[in-house]
Structures are given as C-alpha cells and as structure tokens.
Amino acid sequence: MNIIMPQLGETVLEGTVANWYKKVGDLVQADENLFDVETDKVTSEIPSPLTGIVTEILVVKGTTVKVGTVLAIVVAEGSVAAAKPTTSHAPAVAASPAVTAVIDAGEDKRALVRPVDGAARLSPVVRRLLGENGLSADQINGTGNNNRVTREDVLAYLARPAPTVAEPPTVATASAQSQATPPVQTPAPAAAVSVGKDDLVLPLNKIRRATGSHMIRSLATSPHAVQAVEVNFHAVDKARNAIGKEWKEREGYSLTYLPFIARAVCEAIGKYPYINSSFGNDELIVHKRVHLGIAVDVNFDGLLATVMRDAHHRNLRGLAAEINRLATAARKGQIKQDELSGGTYTISNSGSFGTLFSTSIINQPQAAILSTDGVHKKPVVIEGPDGDVIAIRPIGILAQSFDHRAFDGAYSASFLRYLKEILETRNWVNEL
C-alpha cells in the first residue's frame, strides 16, 4: 500500500517529513505512528493505515513534498514475498531536493519520484518567512543538507545586527578630499552576552521562533495605534453568577468573560465592518465572514492564534464551547493547521492573569487586534433617576491595536464604544 503525504488542512499544499518511526523491514501496526509531518507551527503524528512491513521509504526525513506524494510502501503482513517488485528499486529521495510524485494511474506501483530544483527545495515555513520579509534564498547561507536553507538560517539572518554607515574621514584639503574613500557599510558588532556558570541557555523552540519572527514583521509593517475603553461587566456577571455553577458541572469548564466579549465583538463588527479586514497588495480586503482568532498561551512555550470559523453565526454557548475546544487542542499539541490560519480579527486574552492593560501586536495581515485584561472590582459612579450614587462594580479594560492605514482613530473608537455598550446593556441571561 502506498503511504502518501496527507492533506492536513484545506490551505496546506505540502509538508515536511519531520521523522520516521520505522525503517525498512520493520513491522508497523495499524494506527501505530509511522511518521511525523511538519507544517508552519504544527507537527502532526501520522499513523499507519494497516498492519504490515515497511518495504520502502521513498522520502527521507527533512524533505518537503507536495500533498499526495508517495512517501513509503507498507505491505500487509503475509504478503511481503508476493509484493516484491521485479524491477529495480528507485533510490530514496535525498533531503536536499523537494519531490513531486508521478503515479501511473494504470498500475499500482510505487511512485516515480522526480527531483525539483529552485524554490521547491525550500520547506513551506522557509518560503513563507522569505516572502514575508522580502528575501531570496540566494541571500542566505544554508546550513542544511547540501546547503539547503533552513528556517533557523532565515531567522538567524533576520536577527543579524543592522548595518551601520561608517563616519567619513575628516577632510583637511581639497587634495585629501579627492583621495577620500566613500563611506562603506559595515555590520555592527553583536553585543557580547556574558553567560555565567549558573545561567541556563535554552534554544528557542519552533513556536517561539515563528512567533518572534511574526511579531518583528508586524511592528515593521503596520503603523500601530492603540485605543482603550473601560467596561462595566456587571450585566455579564449577572449571567455568569446565575448559571456559572451549573455550567461548570455540565460542561466541565468555567464560563469566563471571553465568550461574552467574543459575542459582542462579532455583533459590533456587523456595524463597523472595516474592523474585520486584512491588507492585500496595496488594498484593504473587508471580510464578510468573521473568522475570529483567539490567542492561546501554550504552557508558556509560545503563542498560537487559533481560529474559530464563522464566529458570527455562533450563539454564546457555541462560542464558549469552541473557544474551550481550540484552547485545549492547542495546549495538547492536537491543533490542526487549518485551525491556525485564515483569521480575520484576533482577541488576545490576558485577563486570567489579572493584567490591567495590554497592548497587543497586530496579527498580520489583519487590521486590528483586541486585548482583554483582568476584571477587578472598583468603586464607580452610577447615574440614576435620583442622582449619582457610588457602587462597587466589576471593571475591565478592552484595548484595540489597529493599523492606521486601514482606518482612523474615530472609526476604531466608535467600534469600541459600541462594543462597550453591548457588554454593559445586553440581558445576557436571555442569551444562555
């Protein structure tokens, strides 16, 4: 049976074989992990579809291939002798070139594998990093097999010190001026880092590397501006207090503020649609559907922006369930590639840590991101028919970072004002 590169998501066209759990001649059980596939930020374990003997491995570890490429052949146990090919074996694909499988539709034989030159040698992650930063692989010295450019090579290139212009020599006379050499660009020396004997030096994991590269690019791309509103969560707390205990017992997780905020965001976007937009090639793309990103901390090892598709079609219960499912999958390493891409607006929630005010970095190519912070009891002035009174209320801050190219402060402020109004005045008990 041909073992092919699976399609791990609608937008995934290729993957990198990150690891083989078996070698040629090994017995593999059905549903036992056979190999790992790596895409951007996600590594997935792929099980064997049958019990049998691995007779051939056609694509070696570290190679990037298109979806559908035959990676290996597993022959059902007891059929190995009958399945031995009569023709000569094609050698396994080296890690340096990527491959494309060509399969004869009339015969059930192993794939004929053809090396591909150029950009196809690069993994999807490397090509994305190069494209996002306007780089060519020719600019970077590759350290992979056969000098292949790896993700670490690109990140190291991006992290190099910026070049500085040397001061021109002092000109004393016209003759000296004519002989003066033009300024040259020399790289600034990297600051030396002293490592003590008790210091711990940790290599960055792939998620943190990818996150760091994305954040640097976002700050360099978008003119960030930030606005914030203070929200009285008294109406939300009425609903949480009314059903919170029952909810926890029935659903197995707490009913937090986040689903209420997500519900209000989706409604406010309906009135201010430019908030739900992304940048293309010198154009602003206003999305009709809200694919809501929810940033998830992965046990302090990095940040993943999970994506909830068509969030505007979900009710409060549906939002709460999907937020919990995505967060759980991300922290367990079970998130799918499609659940990390295609977002149109993102919420970064630090509220569970008790923060007061956060300024989030925009998740490119989106136009805005909302940060939600801790909700704290504070004395506030309540306007009533008999005058103002002071009461204790749960207060939190919602801050929006937005790309000033997409819209101006008045538009962002109007969105935040309407978002605040929804959260403070809605009868949320009826939504549950």
Full DSSP string of 31-65? TSEEEEEEETTEEEEEE-SS-EEEEEE-B-TT-EE
- Please give the pLDDT value at position 88: 40
pLDDT grade, residue 13 (50/70/90)?
confident
Catalytic residue among 89, 301, 313, 404: 404
| 8 Å CB contact between 254 and 244 | yes
Second CATH level (architecture) for the domain 122-158: Irregular (4.10)
- Please give the pLDDT value at position 300: 84
Is residue 287 part of the annotated active site? The answer reads no
Q: Is the dihedral of CA 124, 370, 409, 285 positive or negative?
A: positive
Catalytic residue among 31, 301, 310, 408: 408
Higher pLDDT, 177 or 141: 141
Question: Beta 345-349 vs 368-372: how paired, if at all?
Answer: parallel
| 8 Å CB contact between 367 and 402 | yes
Domain ranges of the chain: 2-116, 122-158, 224-431
Picking from 330, 325, 321, 329, the residue whose alpha carbon sits closest to that of residue 298 is 330
Per-residue pLDDT of 304-340, as tens digits, reads 899 999 999 999 999 999 999 999 999 988 888 889 9
Interhelix angle 234-251/409-425, rounded to 10 degrees, is 70
In this prediction, residues 45-51 reach a mean pLDDT of 91
Fold exhibited by the domain 224-431: Chloramphenicol Acetyltransferase (3.30.559)
- Please give the pLDDT value at position 276: 98
Residue 273: half-sphere exposure toward Cβ, Cα within 13 Å: 7
Tokens of 60: 């070696």
Tokens of 318: 């549906």
In this prediction, residues 393-421 reach a mean pLDDT of 97
Beta bridge partners of 3: 72
Is residue 404 part of the annotated active site? The answer reads yes
pLDDT grade, residue 160 (50/70/90)?
low
Per-residue pLDDT of 252-294, as tens digits, reads 999 999 999 999 999 999 999 999 999 888 899 999 999 999 9
How far apart, in whole angstroms, are the C-alpha atoms of residue 22 and residue 55?
10
Fold exhibited by the domain 2-116: OB fold (Dihydrolipoamide Acetyltransferase, E2P) (2.40.50)
Mean pLDDT score across all residues of the chain: 82
Residue 381 has pLDDT above 90, yes or no: yes
